[in-house]
Structure 1
Amino acid sequence: MLRRDPDFSEFGGLTMSRTCHWLRPRDSSGHHRPHKEEGETCMAIQRMDNVGIVVEDLDAAIAFFVELGMELEGRAEVEGLFADQCTGLDGVRCDIAMVRTPDGHSRLELAKYRSPAVISAGPRNRPHNILGTHRVMFAVDDIEDTVARLRPHGAELVGEIARFEDSYLLCYLRGPEGIIVGLAEQLR
């Protein structure tokens, strides 16, 4: 069962999308031809909808990412057979929040499991070179201001703000739940 926030009309990433998009040549009017023809390729994805992050304190994670500049798109409670089947877990009860970048193209799904219990994967201050997903990167206008605004939300620099040639200022910081967030400011 999917319960949606009553003030929220559409929840990006929760609606099912086709898993196969036919790459079709355009006809002379610029429109795609309606059917797959011999030699055309089936593409497995259309886009990346979101990156999921499991957290213990959902409100703190939302506050952190909203302060970063993301917008809360909606909150929902997820449970039921479809959630169990999708995750391979039994008795899933999960609160989720979707936050999106201001341009609307990228989303994070923040999830707090009420059941089954969350499994800790070790210390939250793991080094950057550990196997698996290790960071989410954001382009920002002012890296120093962004770091300063995130510090009251628990953000700590992993290293320091570094300059890459005359192109970027870059840093990694540890956010809520030990999530490493990368920030990049393009130099003009």
Structure 2
Amino acid sequence: MDPDDFEYLTFEGTLNAFFRDQPGVLIAHQIDSYNDAIETVIPAIIASKENNPLVIKADFRKDGNNLSQHTKEYELHWGKVSVGRPVVQENTGVTRPLTPQEARIKNITYQLNVYVDVMHRLRYRDDSGNFGEWDTEEIPRVLLCRIPLMLGSKFCILGDVGPSTRAELGECKYDPSLTP
């Protein structure tokens, strides 16, 4: 038997070997959960029947002291959800990729933008009480929100670079959360 095999005969040796052979195992579930939230959960919430379409009724007519019929209907239909990489916009208007190190130095949030395609429709009720045709407009990639970005997630700018590139960008090349 090889003397190095004795390492596995103790609890401490087994534990050390497990973490040595599987870097990042302690945080993998957090990164996987974050990726799932961005890719699956957020689009499912937006596409749910409770939220899509969003109907707004406005300009109610008065019938004596009571409000009765609305004269406008506005609908928002949420479409495809997409996310962008973290970027920073310079004072000159130029947009470029944002690294976690630069976000730390500038004291800004390392975040990703979430976009959604929106179709909005508007129609009016005429004096006879009937609604007219819908006026429809589609707007692609409307900024819905910004979400703090988890280091090591698939959306992180460091997620697909090697240790030497991470070191050049100011990150620890030994960080197990960034193992490609």
TM over 0.5: no
Specify which structure has the higher proportion of helix: 2
TM-score, normalised to structure 1's length? 0.21
Instruction: Report the TM-score when normalising by structure 2.
Output: 0.22
Higher alpha-carbon Rg = 2
